[in-house]
Amino acid sequence: MPSIWCGFDVAAKEKEIADIEQTIIAPDFWSDAAAAQQKMRHLAELKKTVGQWKAMESKTVELAELMALEEESPSPTLGAEIEAEMAQLTEHVDDLEFKLAFASPYDLRNAILSIHAGAGGVESQDWAEMLMRMYLGWAEQHHHKVEILDRSPGEEAGIKSVTIEISGDYAYGYLKSEHGVHRLIRLSPYDSDHARHTSFALVEVLPEAEGDSEIILKPEDLRVEAFRSSGPGGQNVQKVSSAVRIVHIPSGLVVTSQTERSQHQNKEIALRILKARLFKLDLAKREEEHARLKGKFVSAEWGNQIRSYTLHPYRLVKDHRTGFETGNTEAVLNGDLDGFINAYLRSGMGQ
Protein backbone atom coordinates (compact mmCIF):
# COMPACT_ATOMS: atom_id res chain seq x y z
CA MET A 1 0.00 0.00 0.00
CA PRO A 2 2.70 2.62 0.80
CA SER A 3 4.39 2.20 -2.62
CA ILE A 4 1.05 2.45 -4.44
CA TRP A 5 0.17 5.50 -2.32
CA CYS A 6 3.44 7.16 -3.30
CA GLY A 7 2.79 6.28 -6.95
CA PHE A 8 -0.51 8.15 -6.80
CA ASP A 9 1.05 11.13 -4.95
CA VAL A 10 -1.97 12.46 -3.05
CA ALA A 11 -0.11 15.63 -2.01
CA ALA A 12 0.57 16.58 -5.63
CA LYS A 13 -3.09 15.96 -6.56
CA GLU A 14 -4.27 18.08 -3.62
CA LYS A 15 -1.99 20.91 -4.78
CA GLU A 16 -3.41 20.58 -8.31
CA ILE A 17 -6.94 20.81 -6.85
CA ALA A 18 -5.99 23.98 -4.96
CA ASP A 19 -4.42 25.51 -8.10
CA ILE A 20 -7.53 24.80 -10.20
CA GLU A 21 -9.80 26.23 -7.51
CA GLN A 22 -7.76 29.43 -7.65
CA THR A 23 -8.22 29.72 -11.43
CA ILE A 24 -11.98 29.19 -11.09
CA ILE A 25 -12.43 32.42 -9.14
CA ALA A 26 -10.73 34.47 -11.89
CA PRO A 27 -13.17 36.90 -13.60
CA ASP A 28 -12.41 35.58 -17.11
CA PHE A 29 -12.62 31.87 -16.19
CA TRP A 30 -15.83 31.30 -18.19
CA SER A 31 -14.72 33.33 -21.22
CA ASP A 32 -13.98 30.02 -22.96
CA ALA A 33 -16.97 27.94 -21.82
CA ALA A 34 -15.76 24.64 -23.30
CA ALA A 35 -12.29 24.93 -21.72
CA ALA A 36 -13.88 25.94 -18.40
CA GLN A 37 -16.19 22.94 -18.44
CA GLN A 38 -13.23 20.68 -19.22
CA LYS A 39 -11.32 22.09 -16.21
CA MET A 40 -14.37 21.69 -13.96
CA ARG A 41 -14.75 18.08 -15.03
CA HIS A 42 -11.06 17.44 -14.36
CA LEU A 43 -11.41 19.06 -10.91
CA ALA A 44 -14.41 16.86 -10.06
CA GLU A 45 -12.50 13.75 -11.14
CA LEU A 46 -9.45 14.77 -9.08
CA LYS A 47 -11.57 15.31 -5.96
CA LYS A 48 -13.34 12.00 -6.46
CA THR A 49 -10.10 10.07 -6.89
CA VAL A 50 -8.31 11.75 -3.97
CA GLY A 51 -11.36 11.02 -1.81
CA GLN A 52 -11.21 7.35 -2.79
CA TRP A 53 -7.52 7.08 -1.91
CA LYS A 54 -8.03 8.82 1.43
CA ALA A 55 -10.92 6.48 2.21
CA MET A 56 -8.60 3.54 1.46
CA GLU A 57 -5.99 5.01 3.80
CA SER A 58 -8.56 5.33 6.61
CA LYS A 59 -9.76 1.79 5.96
CA THR A 60 -6.20 0.49 6.16
CA VAL A 61 -5.67 2.15 9.54
CA GLU A 62 -8.98 0.76 10.80
CA LEU A 63 -8.07 -2.75 9.67
CA ALA A 64 -4.64 -2.53 11.33
CA GLU A 65 -6.35 -1.65 14.62
CA LEU A 66 -8.78 -4.59 14.25
CA MET A 67 -5.91 -6.97 13.52
CA ALA A 68 -4.05 -5.76 16.63
CA LEU A 69 -7.23 -6.31 18.67
CA GLU A 70 -7.70 -9.80 17.22
CA GLU A 71 -4.11 -10.70 18.11
CA GLU A 72 -4.71 -9.70 21.73
CA SER A 73 -8.08 -11.45 21.99
CA PRO A 74 -8.47 -14.07 19.23
CA SER A 75 -12.05 -14.35 17.99
CA PRO A 76 -13.35 -16.46 15.03
CA THR A 77 -16.06 -13.86 14.35
CA LEU A 78 -13.64 -10.94 14.34
CA GLY A 79 -11.15 -12.94 12.28
CA ALA A 80 -13.80 -13.65 9.64
CA GLU A 81 -14.79 -9.98 9.58
CA ILE A 82 -11.16 -8.91 9.12
CA GLU A 83 -10.72 -11.42 6.29
CA ALA A 84 -13.81 -10.14 4.46
CA GLU A 85 -12.78 -6.51 4.95
CA MET A 86 -9.26 -7.28 3.75
CA ALA A 87 -10.56 -8.94 0.56
CA GLN A 88 -12.78 -5.94 -0.16
CA LEU A 89 -9.95 -3.49 0.52
CA THR A 90 -7.59 -5.43 -1.76
CA GLU A 91 -10.17 -5.32 -4.54
CA HIS A 92 -10.59 -1.55 -4.16
CA VAL A 93 -6.84 -0.93 -4.05
CA ASP A 94 -6.34 -3.08 -7.19
CA ASP A 95 -8.98 -1.01 -8.98
CA LEU A 96 -7.39 2.30 -7.92
CA GLU A 97 -3.91 1.01 -8.78
CA PHE A 98 -5.20 0.06 -12.25
CA LYS A 99 -6.47 3.61 -12.78
CA LEU A 100 -2.92 4.87 -12.32
CA ALA A 101 -2.44 3.60 -15.89
CA PHE A 102 -4.49 6.61 -17.00
CA ALA A 103 -1.51 8.95 -16.85
CA SER A 104 -2.49 11.14 -19.79
CA PRO A 105 -4.68 14.20 -19.12
CA TYR A 106 -6.69 13.17 -22.21
CA ASP A 107 -7.63 9.70 -20.96
CA LEU A 108 -10.80 11.00 -19.30
CA ARG A 109 -12.17 12.31 -22.60
CA ASN A 110 -14.69 10.89 -25.02
CA ALA A 111 -13.25 8.83 -27.87
CA ILE A 112 -13.72 9.19 -31.61
CA LEU A 113 -13.12 5.77 -33.12
CA SER A 114 -12.78 5.14 -36.86
CA ILE A 115 -12.60 1.80 -38.68
CA HIS A 116 -11.25 1.52 -42.23
CA ALA A 117 -11.54 -1.67 -44.30
CA GLY A 118 -8.28 -2.85 -45.82
CA ALA A 119 -7.69 -4.16 -49.34
CA GLY A 120 -9.76 -7.21 -50.23
CA GLY A 121 -13.18 -5.87 -51.15
CA VAL A 122 -16.20 -7.50 -49.55
CA GLU A 123 -14.10 -9.67 -47.17
CA SER A 124 -12.40 -6.70 -45.50
CA GLN A 125 -15.56 -4.60 -45.61
CA ASP A 126 -17.48 -7.33 -43.80
CA TRP A 127 -14.63 -7.55 -41.24
CA ALA A 128 -14.80 -3.77 -40.71
CA GLU A 129 -18.52 -4.09 -39.93
CA MET A 130 -17.82 -6.97 -37.52
CA LEU A 131 -15.36 -4.72 -35.68
CA MET A 132 -17.93 -1.93 -35.59
CA ARG A 133 -20.45 -4.28 -33.92
CA MET A 134 -17.71 -5.38 -31.48
CA TYR A 135 -17.03 -1.81 -30.32
CA LEU A 136 -20.73 -0.97 -30.15
CA GLY A 137 -21.12 -4.05 -27.94
CA TRP A 138 -18.24 -2.93 -25.70
CA ALA A 139 -19.77 0.54 -25.35
CA GLU A 140 -23.18 -0.94 -24.46
CA GLN A 141 -21.62 -3.20 -21.81
CA HIS A 142 -19.97 -0.16 -20.22
CA HIS A 143 -23.10 2.03 -20.49
CA HIS A 144 -21.36 4.52 -22.77
CA LYS A 145 -23.30 6.72 -25.17
CA VAL A 146 -22.66 6.06 -28.87
CA GLU A 147 -23.17 8.28 -31.92
CA ILE A 148 -22.31 7.20 -35.48
CA LEU A 149 -20.76 10.33 -37.01
CA ASP A 150 -20.04 8.98 -40.49
CA ARG A 151 -20.55 5.65 -42.25
CA SER A 152 -19.59 4.59 -45.78
CA PRO A 153 -21.33 1.32 -46.80
CA GLY A 154 -19.54 -1.44 -48.69
CA GLU A 155 -20.16 -2.34 -52.33
CA GLU A 156 -21.89 -5.67 -51.58
CA ALA A 157 -21.83 -6.03 -47.79
CA GLY A 158 -20.17 -4.55 -44.73
CA ILE A 159 -18.69 -1.05 -44.60
CA LYS A 160 -15.76 0.73 -46.18
CA SER A 161 -15.37 2.95 -43.11
CA VAL A 162 -17.21 4.25 -40.08
CA THR A 163 -16.53 6.94 -37.47
CA ILE A 164 -18.16 6.62 -34.05
CA GLU A 165 -18.13 8.90 -31.02
CA ILE A 166 -18.13 6.95 -27.73
CA SER A 167 -18.94 9.15 -24.74
CA GLY A 168 -18.28 8.18 -21.12
CA ASP A 169 -15.70 8.42 -18.36
CA TYR A 170 -12.24 7.35 -19.58
CA ALA A 171 -13.64 6.30 -22.98
CA TYR A 172 -10.42 7.38 -24.72
CA GLY A 173 -8.24 6.03 -21.89
CA TYR A 174 -9.63 2.55 -22.41
CA LEU A 175 -10.07 2.53 -26.18
CA LYS A 176 -6.65 3.96 -27.08
CA SER A 177 -5.41 0.37 -26.72
CA GLU A 178 -7.40 -0.52 -29.87
CA HIS A 179 -5.48 1.79 -32.22
CA GLY A 180 -3.80 -0.25 -34.95
CA VAL A 181 -4.35 -3.01 -37.51
CA HIS A 182 -6.71 -5.90 -36.70
CA ARG A 183 -6.43 -9.16 -38.69
CA LEU A 184 -9.16 -11.76 -39.24
CA ILE A 185 -8.54 -15.35 -40.42
CA ARG A 186 -11.64 -17.38 -41.29
CA LEU A 187 -13.44 -19.52 -43.87
CA SER A 188 -15.01 -16.99 -46.20
CA PRO A 189 -18.84 -16.84 -46.34
CA TYR A 190 -18.47 -14.97 -49.65
CA ASP A 191 -16.25 -17.53 -51.42
CA SER A 192 -18.03 -20.30 -53.36
CA ASP A 193 -15.10 -22.59 -52.54
CA HIS A 194 -15.43 -21.66 -48.84
CA ALA A 195 -11.67 -21.08 -48.78
CA ARG A 196 -9.73 -19.57 -45.89
CA HIS A 197 -9.23 -15.80 -46.14
CA THR A 198 -7.23 -13.22 -44.23
CA SER A 199 -8.73 -9.74 -43.89
CA PHE A 200 -7.40 -6.53 -42.38
CA ALA A 201 -8.94 -3.36 -40.95
CA LEU A 202 -7.35 -0.28 -39.43
CA VAL A 203 -8.79 1.14 -36.20
CA GLU A 204 -8.02 4.76 -35.31
CA VAL A 205 -8.81 6.12 -31.84
CA LEU A 206 -8.75 9.86 -31.15
CA PRO A 207 -9.43 11.87 -27.99
CA GLU A 208 -12.22 14.36 -28.56
CA ALA A 209 -10.88 17.90 -28.91
CA GLU A 210 -12.37 20.12 -26.21
CA GLY A 211 -12.45 23.90 -26.13
CA ASP A 212 -11.94 26.38 -28.95
CA SER A 213 -8.43 27.13 -27.70
CA GLU A 214 -7.13 23.60 -28.39
CA ILE A 215 -7.69 23.55 -32.16
CA ILE A 216 -8.30 26.75 -34.10
CA LEU A 217 -9.68 26.26 -37.62
CA LYS A 218 -9.17 29.17 -39.99
CA PRO A 219 -11.86 29.46 -42.72
CA GLU A 220 -9.18 30.03 -45.37
CA ASP A 221 -7.58 26.67 -44.46
CA LEU A 222 -10.79 24.73 -45.18
CA ARG A 223 -12.32 23.58 -48.44
CA VAL A 224 -15.93 22.52 -47.83
CA GLU A 225 -17.66 20.38 -50.47
CA ALA A 226 -21.23 19.04 -50.57
CA PHE A 227 -22.21 15.74 -52.18
CA ARG A 228 -25.04 13.24 -52.13
CA SER A 229 -25.06 10.53 -49.47
CA SER A 230 -24.41 7.06 -50.85
CA GLY A 231 -25.76 3.66 -49.91
CA PRO A 232 -24.59 0.07 -50.61
CA GLY A 233 -23.14 -0.30 -54.09
CA GLY A 234 -22.47 3.43 -54.33
CA GLN A 235 -25.99 4.50 -55.28
CA ASN A 236 -27.17 7.92 -54.10
CA VAL A 237 -29.73 7.66 -51.30
CA GLN A 238 -30.73 11.33 -51.28
CA LYS A 239 -31.75 13.70 -54.07
CA VAL A 240 -30.07 16.71 -52.44
CA SER A 241 -26.37 17.18 -51.64
CA SER A 242 -26.58 16.95 -47.85
CA ALA A 243 -23.33 15.05 -47.23
CA VAL A 244 -20.25 17.16 -46.47
CA ARG A 245 -16.56 16.70 -47.17
CA ILE A 246 -14.01 19.04 -45.56
CA VAL A 247 -10.41 19.28 -46.71
CA HIS A 248 -7.93 20.83 -44.29
CA ILE A 249 -5.52 22.36 -46.79
CA PRO A 250 -2.39 22.77 -44.57
CA SER A 251 -2.40 19.13 -43.36
CA GLY A 252 -4.14 17.46 -46.29
CA LEU A 253 -6.61 15.78 -43.92
CA VAL A 254 -10.00 14.93 -45.45
CA VAL A 255 -13.11 14.18 -43.37
CA THR A 256 -16.69 13.44 -44.39
CA SER A 257 -20.08 13.15 -42.76
CA GLN A 258 -23.23 11.84 -44.43
CA THR A 259 -25.32 10.34 -41.63
CA GLU A 260 -27.62 13.35 -41.12
CA ARG A 261 -30.23 14.72 -43.53
CA SER A 262 -29.15 18.31 -42.96
CA GLN A 263 -26.02 19.67 -44.65
CA HIS A 264 -25.50 22.00 -41.66
CA GLN A 265 -25.56 19.06 -39.20
CA ASN A 266 -23.15 17.05 -41.36
CA LYS A 267 -20.79 20.04 -41.52
CA GLU A 268 -20.82 20.37 -37.71
CA ILE A 269 -20.04 16.64 -37.34
CA ALA A 270 -17.26 16.80 -39.96
CA LEU A 271 -15.69 19.74 -38.10
CA ARG A 272 -15.75 17.74 -34.84
CA ILE A 273 -13.98 14.84 -36.54
CA LEU A 274 -11.45 17.17 -38.16
CA LYS A 275 -10.67 18.87 -34.83
CA ALA A 276 -10.12 15.46 -33.19
CA ARG A 277 -7.79 14.35 -35.99
CA LEU A 278 -5.78 17.56 -35.88
CA PHE A 279 -5.57 17.30 -32.09
CA LYS A 280 -4.34 13.70 -32.35
CA LEU A 281 -1.85 14.74 -35.03
CA ASP A 282 -0.43 17.37 -32.67
CA LEU A 283 -0.27 14.84 -29.82
CA ALA A 284 1.40 12.27 -32.08
CA LYS A 285 4.14 14.76 -33.02
CA ARG A 286 4.83 15.43 -29.36
CA GLU A 287 4.77 11.71 -28.51
CA GLU A 288 7.08 10.90 -31.43
CA GLU A 289 9.61 13.51 -30.35
CA HIS A 290 9.46 12.23 -26.77
CA ALA A 291 9.85 8.62 -27.97
CA ARG A 292 12.76 9.50 -30.24
CA LEU A 293 14.56 11.10 -27.30
CA LYS A 294 14.08 7.80 -25.46
CA GLY A 295 15.38 5.91 -28.51
CA LYS A 296 12.17 4.13 -29.49
CA PHE A 297 9.25 5.02 -31.71
CA VAL A 298 6.76 2.70 -33.44
CA SER A 299 4.04 3.93 -35.78
CA ALA A 300 0.54 2.48 -35.36
CA GLU A 301 -0.46 2.56 -39.04
CA TRP A 302 -1.12 -0.18 -41.62
CA GLY A 303 2.25 -1.85 -41.21
CA ASN A 304 1.75 -2.49 -37.51
CA GLN A 305 -0.60 -5.38 -36.72
CA ILE A 306 -1.73 -5.40 -33.10
CA ARG A 307 -4.22 -8.27 -32.86
CA SER A 308 -5.26 -11.43 -34.72
CA TYR A 309 -8.73 -13.00 -34.63
CA THR A 310 -8.52 -16.60 -35.84
CA LEU A 311 -11.80 -18.43 -36.51
CA HIS A 312 -10.29 -21.28 -38.60
CA PRO A 313 -8.65 -23.82 -38.29
CA TYR A 314 -8.95 -23.09 -34.55
CA ARG A 315 -10.50 -20.30 -32.48
CA LEU A 316 -8.19 -17.77 -30.84
CA VAL A 317 -7.89 -14.01 -30.40
CA LYS A 318 -4.35 -12.93 -29.57
CA ASP A 319 -2.87 -9.49 -28.90
CA HIS A 320 0.65 -9.34 -30.33
CA ARG A 321 1.78 -6.52 -28.02
CA THR A 322 0.92 -8.04 -24.64
CA GLY A 323 0.57 -11.75 -25.49
CA PHE A 324 -2.93 -11.79 -23.94
CA GLU A 325 -5.18 -14.33 -25.68
CA THR A 326 -8.50 -16.12 -25.37
CA GLY A 327 -10.30 -18.91 -27.21
CA ASN A 328 -13.72 -17.35 -26.58
CA THR A 329 -13.85 -15.58 -29.94
CA GLU A 330 -17.64 -15.18 -29.87
CA ALA A 331 -17.52 -13.21 -26.60
CA VAL A 332 -14.75 -10.96 -27.94
CA LEU A 333 -16.60 -10.19 -31.17
CA ASN A 334 -19.65 -9.34 -29.06
CA GLY A 335 -17.63 -6.69 -27.20
CA ASP A 336 -15.85 -8.52 -24.37
CA LEU A 337 -12.56 -6.63 -24.73
CA ASP A 338 -11.73 -5.88 -21.10
CA GLY A 339 -9.06 -8.59 -20.85
CA PHE A 340 -7.17 -7.12 -23.81
CA ILE A 341 -7.62 -3.53 -22.67
CA ASN A 342 -6.55 -4.26 -19.09
CA ALA A 343 -3.48 -6.22 -20.23
CA TYR A 344 -2.43 -3.28 -22.44
CA LEU A 345 -2.93 -0.67 -19.71
CA ARG A 346 -1.19 -2.74 -17.02
CA SER A 347 1.79 -3.24 -19.36
CA GLY A 348 2.41 0.50 -19.30
CA MET A 349 2.38 0.80 -23.10
CA GLY A 350 -0.44 3.34 -23.00
CA GLN A 351 1.50 5.87 -20.94
* Pair (212, 278) in one structural domain: yes
Domain finish residue from 84, 101, 118: 101
Residue 297: what pLDDT? 45
State which residues form the domain around 202: 102-351
CATH of the domain at 52: 1.20.58.410
Residue 232: what pLDDT? 59
Candidates 110, 102, 9; CA nearest to 53 is 9
**C-alpha triplet 259, 262, 264: angle, nearest 5°:** 105
Q: Mind listing the pLDDT tens digit of every residue in the chain (351 residues)?
A: 444 445 567 788 889 899 999 999 998 988 887 778 778 888 888 888 888 888 888 888 888 888 888 888 888 888 888 888 888 888 877 777 777 778 777 888 899 999 999 988 899 999 999 999 999 999 999 999 999 999 999 988 999 999 999 999 889 999 999 999 999 999 988 887 778 899 999 999 999 887 655 688 999 999 999 988 766 555 545 556 789 999 999 999 999 998 888 899 999 999 999 999 998 888 878 777 656 554 544 454 566 789 999 999 999 999 999 999 999 999 999 999 999 999 999 887 766
* Pair (83, 110) in one structural domain: no
Q: What DSSP designation does 230 have?
A: B
How many domains would you assign to the chain?
A: 2
* Pair (95, 128) in one structural domain: no
- Do 304 and 321 contact (CB within 8 A), yes or no? no
Domain finish residue from 101, 136, 171: 101
* Pair (238, 313) in one structural domain: yes
* Pair (131, 276) in one structural domain: yes
* Pair (13, 109) in one structural domain: no
* Pair (83, 97) in one structural domain: yes
* Pair (225, 351) in one structural domain: yes
* Pair (259, 337) in one structural domain: yes
Residue 2: what pLDDT? 47
Candidates 154, 298, 132; CA nearest to 202 is 132
Distance CA 119, CA 127 (A): 11
* Pair (81, 127) in one structural domain: no
Residue 291: what pLDDT? 60
CATH of the domain at 266: 3.30.70.1660
Sort residue 266 into left (φ over 0), alpha (ψ -120 to 50) or beta.
alpha
For residue range 261-300, what is the model confidence (pLDDT) as tens digits? 889 999 999 999 999 999 888 887 877 765 655 454 445 4
Distance CA 57, CA 48 (A): 14
Q: What pTM, to 2 d.p., does this model score?
A: 0.75
Distance CA 41, CA 207 (A): 15
> What does each C-alpha distance from 329 to 143, 153, 165, 314, 325 come to in angstroms?
22, 25, 25, 10, 10
Domain finish residue from 101, 130, 159: 101
* Pair (192, 293) in one structural domain: yes
* Pair (330, 210) in one structural domain: yes
Distance CA 343, CA 228 (A): 43
